[in-house]
Structure 1
């Protein structure tokens, strides 16, 4: 079986699993994303050389706090760590740091800011209106998938100017623009069928996901370059690891969460 066929089948299974679990119930959604979270923690721990025992303790503590306070507290406090850390990672993209030398407590901060908090935000997003709304998550992923697909197509067809060649040689400015335009068009279509998704929130979501999703892909590419690996894992044949599939939406999650807190 060719690599393209394996990649396509793996991608279809991933999409069907994500949409099916999200639509079926809030519990199947949470179980699937908790599995993604644990897998992402494992992959990042290997990438960033974090002792697995330390990563497990940080993860269990974060999940306990999250589920204890989510029904009684405003979880917008997650943004107090998530947004500044995202800003730090953007600045870090432009540093010529190709080795992992941070102290253990700094590595835990990276695990929290880059993996745990974005995943906790994703777990909370469908519950913003205090009832489970699966279409918030599905809408976000549709926009991400449309952006990635058309960025690839437009980049292959028209790409001449590199976006950030040092980190990701294949990404182009033309691909980024094509992905953004396609995601805006998709957002306008979704606004017809998804009640919570107005044209305004759709276009802003497309902008956030295109911009910060692309940055998130670059951030993970830098982590992989530092670790000298091609993929974050091998759980998805032809695609790599969970972080290879979710790097865009994880990095964009705090910004999407902030936007929905303001507009919904």
Structure 2
């Protein structure tokens, strides 16, 4: 009972910090998510034995560069950048061992592509034509939470077909489909209230969030399996580390970012 209470309270605090930072102002949004990026880098450093000092400097420069930049001038370049960086990560997921961790250059590539760049793009998701719309990034988080929650519920109750047993033994195809369907329904409900984005686009965003969020979860599981640890840290009692809680949004955010700023 005590463990359930601790898990519930820490979860409430985590969600409150995320939502509070987004809703209070764009400055608090920038600051809190910069701190989250630094914590995730620290946790990732422990997983792959990364040199933290220089990675922190490079990640900070990437993050700051994305604040108030003229996105519309570079959106297609960013799309190509995302594809070129993320394809190697997805490829590593299906190898017996992640080979990018065998060199210092590989470490820096991972830190840039897996942590720094996604956070830098995440902070631009709520901006449409230069106007801050906190409800958009909150909705993306809600879709992630819906997808993860229903994937767990469906998978726990009726899941039989293992999705990728070598990396994440508990994930099932039924759970993944349940999370996707729930996210699509969530996208429909959100579209009824947030009219800046059309119903079709919310459905597509929900699809992106669910599918790429699942990939992000699997990739982090692969890193943890190779590091022989259950959680990235114990910073959030009962939930593990911040990277454990943000792995889905980290991987999905760049694709949501590009799609949103292509259609708006």
> Residues 128-148 of structure 1, C-alpha deviation per residue, up to 9 Å, x if partnerless?
320111011001000000001
Match of 2:115 in 1: 115
Match of 2:157 in 1: 157
Q: Comparing 234-243 with 145-154, which one deviates more in the overlay? A: 234-243
> Is the 1:48–1:100 contact (alpha carbons within 8 Å) kept by the matching residues of 2?
no
Q: Distance in 1 between matches of 2:35 and 2:217?
A: 21
Q: Distance in 2 between matches of 1:28 and 1:84?
A: 31
Write out aligned runs for 1:150-229 (5 A): 150-229=150-229
Residue correspondences, number: 263
Tell me the TM-score normalized by structure 2: 0.93
Determine if the alignment matches structure 1 residue 95 to structure 2 residue 81: no
Match of 2:260 in 1: 260
Match of 1:148 in 2: 148
Match of 1:36 in 2: 36
What runs of 5+ residues in structure 2 fail to find an aligned partner? none
Q: Distance in 1 between matches of 2:60 and 2:177?
A: 40
| Runs of 4+ deviating beyond 6 Å | none
Write out aligned runs for 1:8-23 (5 A): 8-23=8-23
Write out aligned runs for 1:1-12 (5 A): 2-12=2-12
What runs of 5+ residues in structure 1 fail to find an aligned partner? none
Match of 1:24 in 2: 24
Match of 1:251 in 2: 251
Alpha-carbon offset, residue 197 of structure 1: 3.2
> Is the 2:82–2:254 contact (alpha carbons within 8 Å) kept by the matching residues of 1?
yes
Q: Distance in 1 between matches of 2:252 and 2:165?
A: 21
> Is the 1:45–1:55 contact (alpha carbons within 8 Å) kept by the matching residues of 2?
no
